[in-house]
Amino acid sequence: MPIPTSSDLLTVGLAQIAPVLLDREKTLAKVLDRIHEAAGKGCHLAAFGEALVPGYPFWLERTNGAVFNSPVQKDIHALYLDSAVQIEAGHLDSVREAARKNQIAVILGIIERPADRGGHSLYASLVYVDNEGTIQSVHRKLMPTYEERLAWSPGDGHGLRVHRLGAFTVGGLNCYENWMPLVRAALYGQGEDLHVAIWPGGIHNTEKLTRVLAQEGRSYVLSVSGLMRPTDFAPHMPQLDAILANSGDFLANGGSCVAGPDGEWIIPPVVGEECLLVIPIDHKKVREERQNFDPAGHYSRPDVTRLILNRTRQRTLEVEE
């Protein structure tokens, strides 16, 4: 559906789905189904959870992931590399085409294997595809959280960008980056008023912070989570018995939700099911709440505190011909 240019209204879709773990193509097929479904329901934006393609490294804390030089960890990591997304190789072309065909913007969490860092390290990246099918930004998570550092590399500020979407200015962060005040301020300073926080899944991540972010930024906040159940693992997954031991019904139970610029729930956290949550949002509500607090505008003091954003894409090699 064409993005409205003269309306305060925007319809957004939060796709809470599980990956087919370590299977890039099958997971992308599920993503495409949800993009088409969201477009069919009038959405202008479809958003997905962190690391969805090809999945979060749930095995690390369950298989002694910190053991150095472990043949088990090497085996699984090699599979993770094989199933990761290399944008330069065209792995997201089907998503780009679905966005273009349906005239819908897409925010997607991927495990990226970028060629510009040698092609053999992994980054948790948030990709923004516009409604013309163009990848406008790829934000690599600045700091992997806890055991994630055993699988993912630290990112940089290159993708800390916002994008115009109808009346809104949309930005997003991966998981625990949403706790980083200076990173949030970098988005506020660029005019963000629709924030998309993507998570691997878990109501413990979303039920408190979502409303805090909305009230701090006086913005709409979409928290989009993944889901992971024991049945979502392929039977040939290495170390499957160890991974699933004592896992319960969920390794990630969702928790996707939406809060308004006043910090109140529009959609409270939804747990335990794959679903597409669709909601229209109204930019007028942003403008109303900015009347008494605007963190990068009338309530800021740049003469006292200012922030520097380094958007340089980090590389280990600069070639001079």
pTM of the entire structure? Answer: 0.96
Q: Give residues with Cβ within 8 angstroms of 136, minimum separation 6.
A: 128, 129, 130, 161, 163
The residues assigned a catalytic role are 50, 141, 175
What tens digit of pLDDT does each residue of 120-175 get?
999 999 999 999 999 999 999 999 999 999 999 999 999 999 999 999 999 999 99
Torsion of CA 199, 101, 7, 299, to 10 degrees: 30
Main-chain phi, psi angles of 120, to 5 degrees: -130, 15
Query: CATH for 9-289, among 3.40.640.10, 3.60.110.10, 2.40.50.140, 3.40.50.970?
Result: 3.60.110.10
Q: What is the pLDDT of residue 247?
A: 84
Q: What is the pLDDT of residue 1?
A: 65
What tens digit of pLDDT does each residue of 158-169 get?
999 999 999 999
pLDDT less than 50: residues of the chain? none
Q: CA 67 → CA 27, 71, 72, 120, 133, distances in Å?
A: 29, 9, 9, 20, 42
Segments making up each domain of the chain, as ranges: 9-289
Q: Is 65 left (phi over 0), alpha (psi -120 to 50) or beta?
A: alpha
Q: 23 near 42, Cβ under 8 Å?
A: no
Q: What is the pLDDT of residue 235?
A: 83
Separation between Cα atoms, residue 14 and residue 105, nearest integer Å: 12
